[in-house]
Amino acid sequence: MEGFDGVGASMSDEGVKAFEEGAFMEGSSKWLVVALFCAILLWRHDAEALWAAVGAVLNTALSVALKKILNQERPIYTLRSDPGMPSSHAQSIFYTITFLNLSLAEWYGINGLTATLSGLFVILGSYFSWLRVSQQLHTVSQVVVGALLGSVFSILWYWSWNTFVLNLFISFLWVRIVVVLGAIGFCVSFLYHIYQSWIVEE
């Protein structure tokens, strides 16, 4: 019996360790998304990067609004007080990945390198999104819906820039002013949201 108890305790310890490692990785995902966007802004520092940043903030706002409208509980509602549908993490992750992949195809064309990088980004995004399920913070459907919403919103946002916003941005000074000031305002608001939700509340 002592042998079985020892094996059970060992398996339990391994399970706790794996859960803690998953929680650490899951908690790191949101900071990775923010770091990636900051890196893009610093690297590109152009109007399209600002437009992408505005889209990221609006994508987050859409997720928050849908959570309140749908009001679907999380698998274990005591872990988080807010509703779980859709997963805001998955929505933000796949918004970022989709916009980045579309930009890579635009900048460097579709080739072996960009296809490999795009596939790698999708795999990493899927892994970090799956962690939300493994940590019992979301159901599979909540994560899938979040990922789909983020991807679709990103495609539409990217399309809007290349279809008509870019031409307006080049042609009219007031559009440039609105985009730049709007981006600054949205980014400041998002930083405040990060401070309140990710630092103060946690």
Question: Residues 34-76: pLDDT tens digits?
Answer: 666 666 666 666 788 888 888 888 898 898 899 889 888 887 7
φ, ψ (nearest 5 deg) of residue 7: -65, -45
Q: Which of 199, 168, 161 is nearest to 55 (CA)?
A: 161
pLDDT at 79: 63
Quick count: other Cβ atoms within 10 Å of Cβ 87?
29
pLDDT at 129: 86
pLDDT at 23: 45
Q: Which residues of the chain have pLDDT under 70?
A: 1-45, 77-80, 187, 190-202
- Retrieve residue 80's tokens: 């988080």
Sequence-ordered list of residues with C-beta below 8 angstroms from that of 98, at least 6 positions apart, any chain: 150, 151, 154, 155, 158
Sequence-ordered list of residues with C-beta below 8 angstroms from that of 149, at least 6 positions apart, any chain: 59, 62, 63, 66, 86, 91
Segments making up each domain of the chain, as ranges: 2-200
Distance of CA 86 to the CA centre of its chain: 12
pTM score, two decimals? 0.75
